[in-house]
Structure 1
Amino acid sequence: MLEFPKMRTCELSLIKYLLFGFNLLFAISGIGIIIAGALVLSDIGEFRHFMEGRLLAPPVVLIVAGCIVFLVASLGCYGAIRESYTMLMGFAACLLIIFIIELAVGIAAAVYKNEVHKGLKQLMRNSLDKYLTSDSDKIAWDNLQTKLQCCGVDRSTDWDDNRPPSCCHPTREGAEDPSPKHCKDARPGDESLYSTGCFEMIEMKAENASKVLIGVGIGIAFIELIGIVLACWMASAIKKRS
C-alpha cells in the first residue's frame, strides 16, 4: 500500500521535469517566432504602399503571438516548479485559447485569399494611374520595379506612353538608370525592358511569406497540444497527491 504514494511522487517528478524542459523549449520557440515574423514583415513591408493591412497583418500577429508564447511559457515554467495546480490549469487554458485563435486566423486567411488577390491588383492599378500626379506613388513604383525587376501591373504595356525608366535594365553593366526616352521607346521583347508584371512578383513574395507563416503556425500548434497534455497530466498528478 505504501508503494502508491511513492509511485505518484515519482510520476509527479517525471512530469515536472518534462514540463519544465518543454516550457524552456517553448520559450525559445517564442523568440524564434518573433524573429520569423520580423523577417517576413521586413521582406514584404518594403512594398507596403501596394498592400492592404490584411496582407501585413499576419506577420504582425506572429510577432505578437511570439511575445505571448514567451510569457505563457514563463508561466508554465513557474507553475511546474511551484507544482501549482491552479497555475498549470491556467497555463493549459492559455495554450488552448492561443490554439483556437490560430485555427480561426488560418481559416479566415483561406477564406479571404481570393478577395485579397483581387484587392491587391486593383490597388496597384489605382496607384499606377496616379504615377504622374503623386510623388508617393511615383517613388513606390520606381522602387518596386527596380528592386523586383518588373514592369507594370500585369505587363509593360500597362504604362501606355508613360513608361518610366525604372521599367528597364541599365543600358550596360554598371551604368546609371536608362534614359526616359530609351525606356519609353522600348517594345515588348526588347532585352532592356523588364518582361514580368509587378503583380506576379509581389504576389510571389506574399505567397512565400504565407508559406513561412503557415509552417511556423503548424509547428506552434503541435507544440501547444503537447503542452496542454503535459500540463493537464501534471495538474492531475498534483490533485491525486493532495
Structure 2
Amino acid sequence: MSQIHPGLKRVFTIFNIFFAIIGGLIIGLALIAQIVTNVEGQSMEDRTVGLIALYVFGAITMVVAGLGAYGACKEKKAALIAFLVCMVIGSLVMLRVAIPTAIARPELEDLLESKFQRFVPLTEAPEEVKNMANTLQSQMHCCGLFSYEDWRQDIPESCECDPAQSESESECRKVDYSALMLSKTIYSRPCFPILMKYILMVADITLGVVLTLAVFALLGLTLSSIMIHQMRYPDRPPVLLTVPAVFGMPPPKYQELHNTPPY
C-alpha cells in the first residue's frame, strides 16, 4: 500500500520535472555562451570560471531533481531526506545571494561610475583598459566612457562614425579635437550609460532568477517534508479540524426521570 498520497506524489513529480528542465536550460545557456565566445575568437581564460560554474550548477540541479523524483516514485525515505537537505542548502545559498544583491542594487550605478572615473583620461589608462574601451566603442557605437573628451587629443578610429551607415542622424557628431583644428565625425553617445543599461538589466535578471530558484527550493523543501512525515507515520488517521458550533445552537435535550409507583 502506498504510504504517500497519490496527489502529493504527482505534484512532487511534476515539480521535479520542471526543476530538471531548469537545470537543462542552465547547461544550454552555458553551452551557448561557450559557442559564442569561440566564434568571436575571444580568450576563454576570463570566462572559464563562469562557464564551469554554470555547467556544475545545471548538472547539480538535474541530479537533485532526479533524486527527488526517484524518492517519491519508489517511496525511498533516504532519497527524500537527501533531497530535503539539498533544498535546505539551496534555499539558504539563494537567499544569501539574493538579499545582499537586492540591497546593493540601488548603489550599483554610483559604485561603477566611481570605478570607471579612475580610468579617465583614457589616453593615460593601462593598455587593457584602452583595448576594452575600443571594443565597447566599436560594438556599442559610442565614444569615450563619459564623453569623447576622455580621449583628450587622441580620439581613436573606433570612435569614428560614418553618417551614411548610421541608423539615425543624431548618432554621429562632428567635433574639433586638436590645436590644429582637425575635425572628426564620431559617435555622439558616451559608452558608460549604454554599458550601465546592460549591467543593470543583467543584475535584475540575475536577481529575479535567484529569487525564483529560492522560492522553488522552499516549495521543494515543504513538499518533501510532508512526504517524509507521511512515510514516518503511515497509519496515522487524518486530523479533521472542526469548528464547534457554540453560538445559535439549542441546549441539549435531557430526559426527565419520573419515579414510577411500585406495584
In the other structure, the counterpart of 2:65 is 73
CA radius of gyration, larger in = 2
In structure 2, runs of 5+ residues without a counterpart are: 167-173, 236-263
In the other structure, the counterpart of 1:228 is 221
Alpha carbons 2:3, 2:75 under 8 Å: kept = no
Establish whether residue 212 from structure 1 lines up as the match of residue 201 from structure 2.
no
User: Which of the residues 184, 190, 202 maps onto 2:195?
Assistant: 202
Establish whether residue 139 from structure 1 lines up as the match of residue 131 from structure 2.
yes
Establish whether residue 192 from structure 1 lines up as the match of residue 185 from structure 2.
yes
In structure 1, runs of 5+ residues without a counterpart are: 1-5, 175-181
Alpha carbons 1:12, 1:238 under 8 Å: kept = no
Alpha carbons 1:165, 1:183 under 8 Å: kept = no
User: Which of the residues 60, 81, 101 maps onto 2:93?
Assistant: 101
In the other structure, the counterpart of 1:239 is 232
Query: Alpha-carbon deviations, 1:91-139, whole Å to 9, x = none?
Result: 1121121111111111222344466545544554455656578554443
Alpha carbons 1:150, 1:198 under 8 Å: kept = yes
- One-letter amino acid of the structure 1 residue matched with residue 203 of structure 2: S
Secondary structure of residue in 2 paired with 1:201: helix
Alpha carbons 1:40, 1:209 under 8 Å: kept = no
* Distance change (3 Å), C-alpha of 1:60 and 1:212: farther
User: Percent of aligned pairs with the same residue?
Assistant: 25
* Distance change (3 Å), C-alpha of 1:200 and 1:42: farther
User: Which of the residues 59, 62, 74 maps onto 1:82?
Assistant: 74
* Distance change (3 Å), C-alpha of 1:155 and 1:38: farther
In the other structure, the counterpart of 1:160 is 152
Alpha carbons 2:122, 2:151 under 8 Å: kept = no
The structure carrying a bigger helix percent of its residues is 1
Q: TM-score, normalised by structure 2?
A: 0.66
Name which structure has the greater RCO, CA cutoff 8 Å, separation 6+. Answer: 1
Q: What RMSD, in angstroms, separates the aligned Cα atoms of the two structures? A: 3.9
Q: What is the rounded CA distance, in whole Å, between the counterparts of 1:38 and 1:153 in structure 2? A: 31
Q: TM-score, normalised by structure 1?
A: 0.71
Alpha carbons 2:84, 2:224 under 8 Å: kept = yes
* Distance change (3 Å), C-alpha of 1:168 and 1:129: same
Alpha carbons 1:92, 1:227 under 8 Å: kept = yes
In the other structure, the counterpart of 1:178 is none
